[in-house]
Structure 1
Amino acid sequence: MSFRLAAYAVCVEDGRVLLAHHVAPSGETTWTLPGGGVEHAEDPFDTVIRELAEETGCHGVVERLLGVDSRVIPAAAARAGAEHQNVGVFYGVRITGGRLRPEPNGATAESVWTPIPDVARLRRSSLVDIGLALARSLPATGHVAPVPVSGLIQH
Structure 2
Amino acid sequence: MSFRLAAYAVCIEDGQVLLVRHVSPKGDWTWTLPGGRVEHAEDPFDAVTREVTEETGCDAMVERLLGVDSRVIPAAAARAGVEHQNVGIFYRVRIIGGRLRPEPNGETAEPVWTPVPDVTRLRRSSLVDVGVALAQTVPATGRVAPVPVGGLIQH
Question: TM above 0.5, one fold?
Answer: yes
SS of 2:139 mapped into structure 1? coil
1:138 equivalenced with 2:135 (yes/no):
no
Q: Given residue 33 of structure 1, which amino acid in structure 2 is its aligned partner? A: L
1:6 equivalenced with 2:6 (yes/no):
yes
Distance in 1 (CA, whole Å) between partners of 2:138 and 2:109 is: 30
1:24 equivalenced with 2:30 (yes/no):
no
Distance in 1 (CA, whole Å) between partners of 2:111 and 2:126 is: 17
Q: Given residue 47 of structure 2, which amino acid in structure 1 is its aligned partner? A: T
TM-score by length of 1: 0.99
1:40 equivalenced with 2:40 (yes/no):
yes
Distance in 2 (CA, whole Å) between partners of 1:137 and 1:55 is: 26
1:100 equivalenced with 2:119 (yes/no):
no
Q: How many residue pairs align between the two structures?
A: 155
Long gaps (5+) in structure 2: none
TM-score by length of 2: 0.99
SS of 1:70 mapped into structure 2? strand
Distance in 2 (CA, whole Å) between partners of 1:26 and 1:115 is: 28
SS of 1:109 mapped into structure 2? strand
How far off its partner does 1:143 sit?
0.5
Distance in 2 (CA, whole Å) between partners of 1:23 and 1:146 is: 24
How far off its partner does 1:79 sit?
1.3
List 4+ stretches of structure 1 deviating above 2 A: none
SS of 1:117 mapped into structure 2? helix
Distance in 1 (CA, whole Å) between partners of 2:14 and 2:148 is: 27
How far off its partner does 1:134 sit?
0.3
